[in-house]
Amino acid sequence: MIFQAEVLITPREGVLDTQGKAVEKTLTHLGYKGIDEVRVGKIVKMKLEADTEHEAVKILESMCSDLLCNDLIETFSISVKETGR
């Protein structure tokens, strides 16, 4: 089966997010009110072939550990949807 996969990678809580702080400060300077705790991350999208959704998630978790995510300072969440063949 073919799955559409999306991995959301963000800085861990407690890790300084300088990019998020810069965005927060700039939005405030532009006049936006009530902005707090802006976090900037990245999204990795791909099509992935696997036998089951569970297997697709396991493959994606392995990809995150091996390359996509720095476990010391980042966390990730995975979503997969079957797209058929």
The answer to whether residue 35 scores a pLDDT higher than 80 is yes
Q: What is the DSSP letter of 1?
A: -
The answer to whether residue 84 scores a pLDDT higher than 80 is no
Which stretch of DSSP H or E encloses residue 37?
Answer: none
Contacts of 45 (CB under 8 A, 6+ apart): 4, 5, 6, 7
How far, in Å, are 13, 40, 78 from residue 17 at the CA level?
9, 7, 21
Mean pLDDT over residues 54-58, rounded? 98
Break the chain into its structural domains and give their ranges: 2-84
The answer to whether residue 13 scores a pLDDT higher than 90 is yes
Residue 18 has, within 13 A of its CA and on its CB side, a CA count of: 0
Mean pLDDT over residues 15-40, rounded? 96
- The architecture in CATH of the region 2-84 reads 2-Layer Sandwich (3.30)
**Predicted local distance difference test score (pLDDT) of residue 47:** 97
How far, in Å, are 16, 23, 25, 49, 59 from residue 63 at the CA level?
24, 29, 33, 14, 6
